[in-house]
Structure formats: structure tokens, C-alpha cells
């Protein structure tokens, strides 16, 4: 890389949840039940199909949800964003591509339901909250079955932002990094 530093917004607290795929829905439900009235959540998943399925599941659990991904028509994406912005649907499930470039005010939480595919996407995702002087929280579901290679980067990003790292995650800090998760190769300057 060119030595550019990758850093997370210090106004966003980072929380990590150890969760297998079978446990993620339960953790998500519990997190949503704890949120204050007026919270707005963007939850990221890695496939369009998963975004649609999660939106449907949590709608059936009584949460106002919308889904945004690349297969939706532009007018449908805009309608979903409008519902999210006016709090009609305060829970938006999205893919990375659909959320690129969105500047939505008042996002209180970001949930990485699925781990980002690379370090830039992770920082971009969590940068959707904690903007314009507001505090935000990111919650990342970390699956021990296939998220080990991103642990060294997650630990570094969290510590560099002054965040606490759980012991179960810190123990993977010296593990093998995949090339997509090498923080030294990352180039991104998130807006505060």
C-alpha cells in the first residue's frame, strides 16, 4: 500500500458480538428490543437475498423494516430510503453497494450482521453513524467459523479509535490476516 492510515470515527463506539450464523437472528432481535424510541439502524448483510430475507423476518417480528440492494429499481430504493429517513421504517437492511455514498442524518446504530468483505467496507459501514457531531454505535457480529482472518484488523481499528476489545476477539489479534483485511494496504479517509 501507500502507507495511508485507515481509521474509524471516534464518535462511533464499536461493539463486537461473538455469534454463529444460527445465533445472529436472536442477537439482532435482542439488540432491537433494547433500542430507544427514535433509533435508526442500518444493518449490513453481504447478499441481496439475505437482505430481503432479514427484512421480511424482522418485519414479521413487528419491526418497521426496509431493504436496499442493487437489484431494486432506483424508485424503490428511493422509496425505502424516504421511509427510513422519516422513521416510518427505522430498520434498514442493506448491501455495501447500495449504501455507498448515502449520507443519512440521524443513524444511531450500524449492525454488521455479516462481516464486511474487506477493511475499507468495514470502516465505511461503521462510518454511517456517529456523524455531524452525533454519537453512534456499531455492533459487529463476528463468526468464529469464518471471520478469524479479519480479527487483527478489527482489533487495531477498535484500539486506534480508543475502543475496548473483548478478550475473545483480542486472542486472535496475532492471527493470520487475509489480504483484504490488511490495514496497512487500506486507503480510506472517512468523513467525521
- What are the residues whose beta carbons fall under 8 Å from the beta carbon of 146, sequence distance 6 or more? 115
Confidence of residue 50 (pLDDT cuts 50, 70, 90): very high
| The pLDDT value given to residue 131 | 79
Terminal-residue alpha carbon distance, the chain: 23
Q: Which of 149, 144, 110 minimizes the C-alpha distance to 127?
A: 110
Name, in order, each residue with C-beta under 8 angstroms of 109's C-beta and a sequence gap of 6 or more: 31, 35, 39, 40, 41, 42, 129, 136, 137, 138, 139
Sheet containing 41-44: give its strands across.
Answer: 12-18, 136-142, 109-112, 41-44, 91-94, 65-68
User: Which residues on adjacent β-strands are paired with residue 92?
Assistant: 42, 66
**Closest Cα to residue 103, out of 38, 39, 191?**
191
Q: Cβ(32)–Cβ(59) under 8 Å?
A: no
What pLDDT sits at residue 3? 40
Q: What is the mean pLDDT of the chain?
A: 86
Overall average pLDDT of the 163-189 stretch: 71
Read off φ and ψ for residue 110, nearest 5 degrees: -120, 130
Task: Report the pLDDT value the prediction gives residue 176, as an integer from 0 to 100.
Answer: 66
Domain ranges of the chain: 12-185
Query: Which cell is 19 given?
Result: 455469534
| Segment 2-48, tens digit of pLDDT | 444 566 677 788 999 999 999 999 999 999 999 998 999 999 999 99
For 101, other C-beta atoms within 10 Å of its C-beta total 7
In CATH, what class is 12-185?
Answer: alpha beta
Q: Flag whether pLDDT at 192 surpasses 60.
A: no
Cα separations in angstroms, 123 against 56, 83, 141, 146, 168: 27, 25, 15, 19, 21
What pLDDT, in 10s, does the model give residues 66-83?
Answer: 999 989 888 998 999 999
- What is the pLDDT at residue 84? 94
Which is higher by pLDDT, 139 or 187?
139
Provide the residue count of the chain: 192
Q: What is the pTM of this model?
A: 0.87
Q: How confident is the model at residue 177 (pLDDT cuts 50, 70, 90)?
A: low
Name the band, by pLDDT with cuts 50, 70 and 90, for residue 178.
Answer: low
Amino acid at each position: 500500500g501507500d502507507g495511508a492510515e485507515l481509521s474509524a470515527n471516534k464518535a462511533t463506539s464499536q461493539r463486537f458480538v461473538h455469534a454463529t450464523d444460527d445465533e445472529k437472528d436472536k442477537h439482532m432481535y435482542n439488540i432491537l428490543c433494547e433500542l430507544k424510541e427514535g433509533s435508526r439502524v442500518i444493518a449490513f448483510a453481504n447478499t441481496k437475498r439475505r437482505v430481503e430475507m432479514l427484512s421480511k423476518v424482522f418485519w414479521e417480528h413487528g419491526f418497521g423494516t426496509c431493504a436496499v440492494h442493487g437489484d431494486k429499481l432506483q424508485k424503490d430504493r428511493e422509496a425505502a430510503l424516504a421511509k427510513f429517513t422519516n422513521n416510518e421504517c427505522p430498520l434498514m437492511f442493506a448491501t455495501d453497494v447500495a449504501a455507498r455514498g448515502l449520507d443519512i442524518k440521524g443513524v444511531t446504530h450500524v449492525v454488521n450482521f455479516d462481516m464486511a468483505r474487506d477493511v475499507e467496507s468495514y470502516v465505511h459501514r461503521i462510518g454511517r453513524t456517529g456523524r455531524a457531531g452525533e454519537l453512534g454505535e456499531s455492533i459487529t457480529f463476528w463468526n468464529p467459523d469464518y471471520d478469524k482472518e479479519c480479527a487483527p484488523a478489527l482489533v487495531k481499528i477498535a484500539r486506534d479509535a480508543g475502543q475496548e476489545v473483548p478478550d475473545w476477539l483480542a486472542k486472535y489479534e496475532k492471527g493470520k490476516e487475509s489480504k483484504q483485511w490488511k490495514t496497512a494496504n487500506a486507503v480510506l479517509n472517512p468523513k467525521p
